[in-house]
Structure 1
């Protein structure tokens, strides 16, 4: 039996929100795929780098849309430009660093889904296109990660 899932166009669910100083959007929520996968977009400024962390449940695939980004996966370093892809297996510490002065946009596929709810829960809606990111409480973001089987394993990377 073939199952069909809805196609998502512009909706309130896809509206950008601030997360750790960058903007994020949920492009395809897990609810549309029986939680098999979800797709997000991150638009981060130059120098942006989340702390090293581990997803215990999800595989991640990063696709660079704009800008230059270095991905750190385990003990490997991958310098990517638009059109290139990196893979982060579950259980392996990883992070990234935006190298390009104009920032970067990254599409991220998570499988299985549900981690997008962590990002949404810790995000702040973007009121206007020209808004600056609000201050964020990194300790609160880290504390909420445990419920999503996400744990921080080190500081943000640097070159």
Structure 2
């Protein structure tokens, strides 16, 4: 059994906050778990993970998930699945939302942490980010953009 840290440090990623709850290194790369906290209207670009399956669990708020040509409006306690190789994204529909994301196999969280910046205060606004640099580094993790962020 591997002991995990009680709290993972939050970092900014694409304008929202993220934390690595279970790193791939703790599971022999079998899986990793992250938490994302975002505000209304937040939506990452439509993208594809070539290597990972992904499961999303809504913890707080209302989020619409887009997986291939399907759309799922979810609330706390509901779950969506994104198979590897299928374009997906999400859109926060409530004032704020939190979700857990499980990646299998693990280690893609290293791409998120490498492109994030530390949160120094709960009240701090997200810093500017270089989307070009973030996308350029995605190739090494077999993540690619498939389209713009979804809208309502």
Q: Same fold (TM over 0.5)?
A: yes
What CA RMSD, in Å, does the superposition of the two structures yield over aligned residues? 0.8
Normalising by structure 1, we get a TM-score of 0.94
- Kindly report which structure 2 residues correspond to 1:7-156, keeping only aligned pairs within 5 A, or say none: 7-11=3-7, 14-101=8-95, 103-156=96-149
The runs of at least 4 aligned residues of structure 1 exceeding 4 Å deviation read none
TM-score (ref. length: structure 2):
0.98
More strand by share: 2
Unmatched segments (≥5 aa) in structure 2: none
Corresponding residue pairs, total: 152
Larger Rg over CA atoms: 1
Alignment gaps of 5+ in structure 1 = none
- Quick one: distance in 1 between partners of 2:131 and 2:72? 26
- Superimposed CA distance per residue, residues 71-127 of structure 1 (whole angstroms, 9 cap, x where no aligned partner): 0000000000000000000000000000002x1000000000010000000000001
Distance 1:109 1:142 in 2: 21
